[in-house]
Amino acid sequence: MPKKYRAMWAELGLNLDNHDKLLKTLGKVYSDIFLSQVNRPKKAEYLDFVVSEVHGLRVQELVEGKKQGRKVVGTYCTFAPEEIVLAANAVMVGLCSGADFATEEVEKLLPKNLCALIKSSFGFKLGGVCPYLEASDLVVGENTCDGKKKAYEVLKGLVRDLYVLDLPHTKNENAKPLLRAEFEKFKAKMETLTGRAITVDALKRATDVVNAKRQAVHRLSALRANRLVPISGLDSLLINQIFFYEDPVRFTGQINALCDELDARVKSGTGVTDARTPRILISGCPMAVPNWKLPAIIETSGAIIVGEESCVGERGTRNLVDNSSTTLDGLMDALVDRYLKIDCAVFSPNTERLDHIREMARHYKADGVILYAIQFCAPYTIEAIGIERQLEKAGIPAIRIETDYSQQDVGQLKTRVQAFIERIKD
């Protein structure tokens, strides 16, 4: 990355040595995993560009924006309502937590046996390597799982301004009023932070922007249902990851253009692989940048990933917001309705998730489902057992994979994934 960004990183307070190491590793990993793929669409150049500028151009945009009074809101969960952030003329960026970093420092504050995603978010902070974190005027956490809930108590002391969204854990009759109250509180916080009142117009425009972003990835997902899949699972995952921090309007334009190319590929019968390649649906915990470990194993073992039932994926983008109301009350209600449809495992009961997995397996013509959970994640590992059983009963091959971010178990994972692929091929 060009030296022109060094001053910006220094000013943000990054640890430049650590940051250099991170970028070097990231560059190599990206090259090994993404650039080695064959038959990528030409528009994948956009993805390569975004990643090559991951701590450069986008950060610069945010920093320039801050000078113009546009606040930066860093978030960790798909429940953070981007519509409200945009309506306050602020910018929302999903904060990465997809790699181990500064582990020794993290383990002074958090237990060793804890979700790698949570530990990573701390590692990026303690290592001083994330410009998005350092640029955030507000960091939004959320009361989802036990691990996050308690970890945010510790994070509070480490960041400028931490705001924790209290989410309901059921979808019963109290859930909607609770989430509505939380979104109202968050709206008030955004208004205080930015000094702007959120108007009906602003909220409607913001909702249009976020809906458009979601529609672009809907288009992408639909294209992957084709027998000849025009884009790899790895590239699709990356798109779903970039979704969280790229400029929404630019993202929408670029992904729609990519989908135009994929449309043409489908019409001309071009796929990244042939029609006999086993098709896998991944389901479970979200994969944050730069967690590409399992998809890389799957797609270098002779299979192709045709969908992600994940918050970084279809579960997080499935539903649009009904933007028809002309009152703030109606719009806020519509937001709540939309967000409550997310069937993350922190909710109980969560029976719709199995229905969605089955529907996705059918729709994307998956030959098998890989249920992915990060080690120590109680909600997803518990759900996975029942879901695996039900899928097998329904004649859909399924396997549970539980892992962390380390490279230690790559060999073991490869054996399991390859054995699963052998099974579905036989």
Partner 1 sequence: MEQRLTAGIDIGSCTVKVVVLDGQSVVREAVVDATARPAETALRLLTDTPSCPVVATGYGRDLLEVHRNIPTITEIKAHALGARLYCPSCATVIDVGGQDLKVICLDAAGKVARFEMNDRCAAGTGKFLEIMAQRLGYPLAEFGNAALTGADALTISAMCTVFAESEVVGLINRGVDRRDIARALHQSVVKRVSAMFKRTDPLAGQVVVTGGGALNTGLIGLLQRDLGISIHAAPAPQTVGALGCAIHAKQSPRE
- Token pair 């913001």 is at which residue? 206
User: Which residue lies nearer to partner 1 by CB, 18 or 375?
Assistant: 375
Residues 264 and 255: their CA atoms lie apart, in Å, by 14
Task: Count interface residues toward partner 1 (CB under 8 A).
Answer: 12
21 binds partner 1 (CB under 8 A): no
Cβ atoms of 33 and 296 within 8 Å: the answer is yes
Residues 6 or more apart in contact with residue 344 via CB below 8 angstroms: 78, 79, 144, 311, 315, 350, 379
Q: At its nearest, how many Å lie between partner 1 and the CB of residue 175?
A: 36
Stretch that binds partner 1, among 20-28, 283-291, 305-313, 415-423 (CB under 8 A): 415-423
36 binds partner 1 (CB under 8 A): no
Interface with partner 1 (CB under 8 A), residue from 2, 157, 395, 411:
411
Burial class (CB in 10 A: 0-12, 13-18, 19+), 201: exposed
418 binds partner 1 (CB under 8 A): yes
Residues 56 and 4: their CA atoms lie apart, in Å, by 9
Strand partners, 75: 94, 140
351 binds partner 1 (CB under 8 A): no
User: Which residue lies nearer to partner 1 by CB, 39 or 412?
Assistant: 412
Residues 310 and 306: their CA atoms lie apart, in Å, by 13
Q: What is the distance between the terminal CA atoms of the chain, rounded to a whole angstrom?
A: 46
Interface with partner 1 (CB under 8 A), residue from 153, 274, 329, 422:
422
325 binds partner 1 (CB under 8 A): no
Residues 416 and 244: their CA atoms lie apart, in Å, by 31
112 binds partner 1 (CB under 8 A): no
Stretch that binds partner 1, among 43-51, 103-111, 217-225, 410-418 (CB under 8 A): 410-418
Strands (E), 162-297: 162-166, 279-284
416 binds partner 1 (CB under 8 A): yes
User: Which residue lies nearer to partner 1 by CB, 10 or 394?
Assistant: 394
Cβ atoms of 396 and 369 within 8 Å: the answer is yes
Instruction: Tell me the CB-side half-sphere exposure of residue 107, using CA atoms within 13 A.
Output: 9
User: Which residue lies nearer to partner 1 by CB, 356 or 416?
Assistant: 416
Q: At its nearest, how many Å lie between partner 1 and the CB of residue 274?
A: 12
User: Which residue lies nearer to partner 1 by CB, 66 or 416?
Assistant: 416
Which residues in the 369-408 window bind partner 1 by CB under 8 A?
392, 399
Q: At its nearest, how many Å lie between partner 1 and the CB of residue 414?
A: 8
Helical ranges in 3-128 per DSSP H: 6-12, 16-33, 44-52, 57-67, 82-87, 103-109, 116-126
Interface with partner 1 (CB under 8 A), residue from 4, 38, 42, 426:
426
Interface with partner 1 (CB under 8 A), residue from 184, 322, 333, 409:
409
Instruction: Tell me which residues touch partner 1 (CB under 8 A).
Output: 392, 399, 409, 411-412, 415-416, 418-419, 422-423, 426
